[in-house]
Structure 1
Amino acid sequence: MSAAIFHNPLLNNGPDPWIVKQSDGFYYMMVTAGRHLALRRSRTITGLADEEPKVIWAPSSPGPYSHNLWAPELHEIDGTKYIYYTANDGGGDDTRRVCVLQLSGTDPMQDEWIFKGAVNAEHPGLDGTVLPHKGELYFFYSGYGHFPDYGSAIYAARMANPWTLVGPNVLITAPTADWEKQGGMAINEGPAFLRRFGRIFLIFSASATWSDDYCLGLTSISESADLLDASAWDKHPGPVFAQYPEHGVYAPGHNSFTISPDGQEDWIVYHAYDYSEVDQKRSESRPRSTRVQRFGWTDKGMPDFAKPMALDTPLNRPSGEV
């Protein structure tokens, strides 16, 4: 096989994958591990598959944020690295919060991570992420609403610092359409961002994660608009990335985005199943796997994720990988 070719999955067990290229030139990868947080580091995207994860944080004792550590993300804000992750006390959804770690040095693999606390969001929830914009920092998360007709929706708020919100938590997108309500729950979660052509694109996961119909939706806003003006967001009417049984891909979702080493290609990172929810084999022993694939843009300035590729599809490695 050519060294320029690879196959998915990147990780056989890799739910809620986050891959980011940071200012030090390395790619970092995190996935949900449940009981701890771990990092992988590589000079290339596909090289992450060969790196052993380094555990960089684990709760020291039982407490309010010691269970169900989910969906970690590594961010660099004003030269300092932070990790955002979901945790609870082992109880119900009402105890689930987004927590923040701050790196005390410069090497995220070796230096100490300091627990800054849980973000003071208005609602319990999960999948927190940050978006710098026009000198301000914004926090987006999936909040468990007090609403009777859906399970979670995406809220946004301005940040006073990387772990503290100020002002109202504004509802940005809620699961109101049938395609967002599959699997027995109405859900919008896992916000991730793209910027292009003067717009900010918020890509989110919709429907229940255990459903074959778990998918990606999209809402967008002009870069010149107020991000906390809910009416300024324009929601796409249907999924932008969804199951493709012909390729053996089910429930693709909870994604992140990264770029090729030479900066010339956009790549989507996501998890999916290779068997349907009706398949008896679906269980904890057959977890969601991490996949990556290149995507493009339409002539109307929209991201074009196309169809999720089958696992046996030979893919060209990201440009600039050596």
Structure 2
Amino acid sequence: MLAASLLAIAVAANLAAASETFRNPLLPTGPDPWVAQHDGFYYYTNTLGDRIALWKTRDLGRLAAAPATVVWRAPASGPGSAAVWAPELHFLDGKWYLYYTAADKAHDDDTHRHLYVLENASPDPTQGQWISRGMLKTDHNGIDGTVFQLRDKLYFVYSAYVGDHSDLVIAPMTNPWTLGTPQADIAQPTYAWEMQGGRKILEGPEFLEGPTGKLFLSYSASACWSDHYALGLLSAAPDADPLDPAAWHKSPQPVFAQSPANGVYAPGHNGFFKSPDGKQTWIIYHANGGPGWKCGPRRSPRMQQMHWRADGTPDFGVPVKADVPLAVPSRQDEVQAPPHPR
């Protein structure tokens, strides 16, 4: 009887978990969404313009119910005082780091747009003190910095202003706030779908390692005010040197683009995260809910599960329709079924 009761409890728990759903968008507004995972929690952030806030939750599907903590505000003037964009939170070498883009309030233009980093030694990034590690010494002005670790080495990738276009540039890091050399330009706009909206733009790079060890960098292409804003993909072999431009190969078509049939436009500036049990890979991104909404506050954060093809390449699928119930990211069973009686 005990075994039967435990089995019934386990089945009920599994059915309850399977029936849990969420709906996109996760918040009414939230451009440039980012998620970090640490010690069973998700930490979410997005562009707010004059400050950086972190949402802390165990359930991203209920992000709207999570508290938001403002952890840093832009200074009143000078470098980094305006246009605070695309914050990313990373846990590196036992400390938290926030990378973000900002300009000078007196000169809010591309010429004065740079990348900055903050540091916090607290185990919880919503607590403790954030201190500035200053402006990263990039070869070009730029935006949208990200960090990844590969074979015990740190790398920094950003969208660099090069002439009349924006390229992806990668550099090694000697520590989480210092770039090394070389700073290599690994991708430039070359396809028509990367030049929509009157600009030639590659931005929002994000690293992803596949289940077979293949290396990927997703990026957002075209101007963010274009409905054709979409995700592209760079790929490299598992043993490739990420600083070698020849190692990276660009997909000739966007890998995640607008779906008028689903009412989703200009999807982009994504991040990746795992389900709580580590078995699923998810993408978080912003998108508009109608055509012609441009690059404004109506861009909202959305998430959906992505999959892996047999050849080890990612399949992002199609942006899902808003307000449709979706299964939450998979979790470990809280109650394990007893062994089958012999």
Q: Residues 254-296 of structure 1, C-alpha deviation per residue, up to 9 Å, x if partnerless?
A: 000011111111110000001101x6xx684x61000000110
The gaps in structure 2 that reach 5 residues or longer are: 1-15, 335-342
Q: Residues 22-45 of structure 1, C-alpha deviation per residue, up to 9 Å, x if partnerless?
A: 2x2210000000010000001122
Equivalent residue for 1:20? 36
Separation (CA, whole Å) in 1 of partners of 2:28 and 2:218: 24
1:163 aligns to 2:180 (yes or no): no
Equivalent residue for 2:337? none
Secondary structure in 2 matching 1:47: helix
Secondary structure in 1 matching 2:279: coil
Equivalent residue for 2:167? 153
Equivalent residue for 1:187? 201
Shift in Å, 1:96: 0.7
| 8 Å contact kept, 1:45–1:260 | no
Identity across the alignment (%) = 47
* Greater shift in the superposed pair: 83-92 or 29-38: 83-92
Give 1:297's aligned amino acid: W
TM norm structure 2: 0.88
Separation (CA, whole Å) in 1 of partners of 2:37 and 2:172: 25
Paired residues for 1:272-291 under 5 Å: 272-277=287-292, 284=296, 287-291=298-302
Q: Residues 229-255 of structure 1, C-alpha deviation per residue, up to 9 Å, x if partnerless?
A: 100111111100000000000000000
Shift in Å, 1:49: 2.2
Shift in Å, 1:59: 2.3
Separation (CA, whole Å) in 2 of partners of 1:72 and 1:260: 22
Equivalent residue for 1:220? 235
1:199 aligns to 2:214 (yes or no): yes
* Greater shift in the superposed pair: 112-121 or 157-166: 157-166
1:105 aligns to 2:122 (yes or no): yes
| 8 Å contact kept, 1:103–1:111 | yes
Give 1:319's aligned amino acid: S
| 8 Å contact kept, 2:102–2:114 | yes
Equivalent residue for 1:85? 100
Shift in Å, 1:312: 2.7
The gaps in structure 1 that reach 5 residues or longer are: none
1:9 aligns to 2:25 (yes or no): yes
Match of 1:68 among 79, 83, 99: 83
Shift in Å, 1:168: 2.3
Stretches of 4+ moved more than 3 A in 1? Answer: none
* Bigger Rg over Cα: 2
Secondary structure in 2 matching 1:121: coil
* Cα root mean square deviation, aligned: 1.7
Match of 1:310 among 284, 305, 321: 321
Give 1:308's aligned amino acid: P
Match of 1:123 among 116, 121, 140: 140
Separation (CA, whole Å) in 2 of partners of 1:39 and 1:52: 8
Separation (CA, whole Å) in 2 of partners of 1:298 and 1:15: 29
Shift in Å, 1:69: 0.5
Separation (CA, whole Å) in 1 of partners of 2:24 and 2:35: 15
Give 2:139's aligned amino acid: E
Secondary structure in 1 matching 2:64: helix
Equivalent residue for 1:48? 63
| 8 Å contact kept, 1:104–1:114 | no
**Number of residue-to-residue matches in the alignment:** 314
